[in-house]
Structure 1
């Protein structure tokens, strides 16, 4: 069961969403809050995995709360459709309009469960760091060998490839993406599409963006990396394959 907290400054609306959460055996309501500030106070103690929250609230808004709790999944519940674009800016799993339709609520829960399961699969299936193999990087006349374990991603750049190293600026390699992929000998590297190769051992978490794209958060990467539909689908399928035959923790 996923642990969730409901947040809404209208008591009747809070009671409604709380009852729906209690009625779904995939969810466990671990707290409710009548303001974003109150939610911030109880989150460290209750340790939820997701928030169902309103947007317009006195003081701190729901969107500000979502930005302050980026490690948590978010489902927006609002009386206004005008905040939908803002919701996707904070990588909300779904956007429910009040009064809540029960079938739409169940659809949102389906998406939430799937997102959490995929991240759990990532943690279970994350391979060990790459071995001691290296790849060639050029910088003008200089040549540099980069340990595979220090590579976060490799991106195609014409006939060559940009290497994104941990805690450093991207560098142009004298090799193509295909040549680098061959030299890295498979896991923990995964080819996502024609132009993207990632080191799964560096991947910490991800968030779906605009329903089809994905933002990746990696160890050693300042910020995040955005990937498109095809690459995101490849990663989801890879992680989903790891879920088969396994019982969720």
Structure 2
């Protein structure tokens, strides 16, 4: 389960952010809510959270200094001041959220964190249900029209804020079925999960490339899209 720390010298604002994060991302566990930079750094070192939501102007150490020392935790700044944005991204910030923070902006941030979060340990899709077999068709609604899509034609599935994006040819459709539920119904000999938020068709893969930092990305046949491979799934391409 992903974990996060919230550091803000205004306890009411920290509590509000914690409530909204819990509501929009139930799987996220809040491991601490320190009220100054020194406590924030100490708790980050002690708990090693996946994410730290940091105010910038805090007593003791400011959020920028905390971020520069918290090298193993991904930092999201939440501040009322926009003048620190360039320096924040120089500290490898994942996102920069301005107060007052709207639900829409927070949801976009959460979607990004979910896409980039480490995936769980399994390295392949579980077998499809023996009772029903792998799913072969999807129905996609657009206005008053319903389209029938053959699963074999799908290049990849990608989780979005509230839906799953189905990419077929030059078209992208949205369905309400969560990616984790689709994983149980797809044929594991045709589809493989390569990231917490991505399932790709093996037939659609052209090649897999490793960058200078050792990260893998999938290049697809006849498409410009590239797909990330998270560390938990690199074993699928261990021959590289």
TM-score by length of 1: 0.50
Change beyond 3 A, Cα 1:94–1:236: farther
Q: Which has the higher helix share?
A: 1
Tell me by how many angstroms 1:21 deviates: 2.0
Counterpart contact for 1:73–1:112, Cα < 8 Å: no
SS of residue paired to 1:5? strand
Hey, what does 1:138 align to over in structure 2? none
1:113 equivalenced with 2:123 (yes/no) = no
1:4 and 1:28 in contact (8 A); partners too: yes
Q: Which residue of structure 1 aligns with residue 197 of structure 2? A: none
* Structure 2: 5+ residue stretches without partners: 125-207, 217-223
Measure, in 2, the Cα distance between the counterparts of 1:10 and 1:42.
17
C-alpha separation in 1, matches of 2:8 and 2:93:
16
How far residue 8 of structure 1 moved from its aligned partner, in angstroms, is 0.5
2:99 matched residue in structure 1? 98
Q: Say whether residues 1:17 and 2:17 are aligned partners.
A: yes
Contact 2:118 2:232 in 1 (8 A): no
| Alignment size in residue pairs | 144
Alpha-carbon deviations, 1:13-57, whole Å to 9, x = none?
A: 112112122222131111110011011222233231110010111
- Following superposition, the deviation at residue 92 of structure 1 comes to 1.0
Counterpart position of 2:30? 29
Aligned pairs (5 A) from 1:35-54: 35-54=36-55
Matches within 5 A, 1:209-224: none
**Counterpart residue number, 2:65:** 64
Distance in 1 of aligned mates of 2:12 and 2:107 = 20
* TM-score for both structures, normalised by structure 2: 0.51
CA distance in 2, matches of 1:235, 1:42: 39
**CA 1:42–1:242 in 2, change beyond 3 Å: closer, same or farther?**
closer
Contact persistence 2:48–2:73 (CA under 8 A): no
Please, which runs of 5 or more residues in structure 1 have no aligned partner? Answer: 126-189, 207-233
**2:170 matched residue in structure 1:** none
Per the TM alignment, residue 80 of structure 1 is displaced from its structure 2 partner at its CA by 1.2
Give 1:199 shift: 7.5
Which residue is 1:55 aligned to? 56
Alpha carbons of 1:237 and 1:39: their partners in 2 closer, same or farther (altered >3 Å)? same
Counterpart of 1:5?
5
Q: Is this contact kept in 1: 2:80–2:100, CA < 8 A? A: yes
CA RMSD in angstroms comes to: 3.5
